[in-house]
Amino acid sequence: MNYTGTQTLETDRLLLRRYTKDDALAVYKNWASDDDVAKFLTWPTHANQDVTQEVIDDWVNCYSDDKYYHWAIVLKENGSEPIGDIAVVHMDEKTSMAHIGYCIGRAWWNKGVTSEALQAVMNYLFDVAGFNRIEARHDANNPNSGKVMLKCGMRYEGTMRSSGWNNQGIHDECFYALLKSDR
C-alpha cells in the first residue's frame, strides 16, 4: 500500500477535499445537528456549533498523518460548503483493507451524491493508495445505505445479527465489500 493521505478528488458534480477550520458552521447546519442524519450513526448529534468546531479541529490536525483518509463532500455548484462526509474509519494493513463510513445532509438524500463520492474514494483507494479490499456496512434498518454500496459495485457478503451499535441501539449489520480484482 502507498500511504498517500487525503488528497483532493473531483467528479462531475463533486469536490472531495480536506476539511478546514472554517467548515464548522456548514457541517453543523447541514448534518451534524440533524437527528435524522445521525439516526443510524455512532455519534450523537452536536448540541451546538462549538462541538462541531472541536471535532473539525481534531480532523484537521490528523491530516499530517498519511494514513488518514477523510473528505468533506462539496457540490461544485454550491462553492466550498460541505454537504456530507466520507472517510476510512478503519484499516487493516495486513490485509490491505479499508473500511469506509459516510453520511450526507438530508437535503441531498436520494440524489446520487453519496454514490458518486463513494465511487471516487474507492477508485482513489484502489488505484492510488493501493488497497486490496474496501468494505462498508450498514444497519439492516437503513437499506438505502446498502443501495449506495451496491450502486458502487460492492458485493453483499452477509448480515451479522446483533453485531453493531448505533444511536438506535444494538442492531443487525449488513456487510458489503469489493476487492481490487473484482473490478
β-bridge partners, 135: 99, 177
What does the alpha-carbon distance between residue 79 and residue 88 come to, in Å, rounded to a whole number?
24
Query: Which pLDDT value is given to residue 78?
Result: 84
Q: Side chain identity at 143, as an amino acid letter?
A: P
Mean pLDDT computed over every residue of the chain: 97
pLDDT tens sequence across 56-84: 999 999 999 999 999 999 999 988 999 99
Residues in CB range of 14: below 8 A, 6 or more apart: 73, 74, 75, 76, 113, 116, 117, 120
CA dihedral defined by 44, 46, 51, 54, rounded to 10 degrees?
60
CATH code of the domain occupying 9-135: 3.40.630.30
Q: Where are the domains of the chain?
A: 9-135
Is the pLDDT at 23 greater than 90? The verdict is yes
Interval 90-144: pLDDT, tens: 999 999 999 999 999 999 999 999 999 999 999 999 999 999 999 999 999 999 9
The per-residue pLDDT for 162 is 98
Pairing type for strands 133-139 and 97-104 reads parallel
How much is the pLDDT for 45?
A: 97
Which of 102, 142, 147 has its CA nearest to residue 122?
102
What pLDDT shows up at residue 79?
Answer: 85
pLDDT at residue 35 tops 90: yes
Q: What is the pTM of this model?
A: 0.96
Three-state secondary structure of 31-92? HHCCHHHHCCCCCCCCCCHHHHHHHHHHHHHHCCCCCCCEEEEEEHHHCCCEEEEEEEEEEE
- What is residue 37's predicted lDDT score, i.e. its pLDDT? 97
pLDDT at 161: 98
Cα gap 89→20, rounded to integer Å: 19
> In the predicted model, what is the mean pLDDT of residues 52-58?
98
Would you state the cell numbers that stand for residue 137, as one nine-digit string?
Answer: 456496512
Predicted local distance difference test score (pLDDT) of residue 156: 98
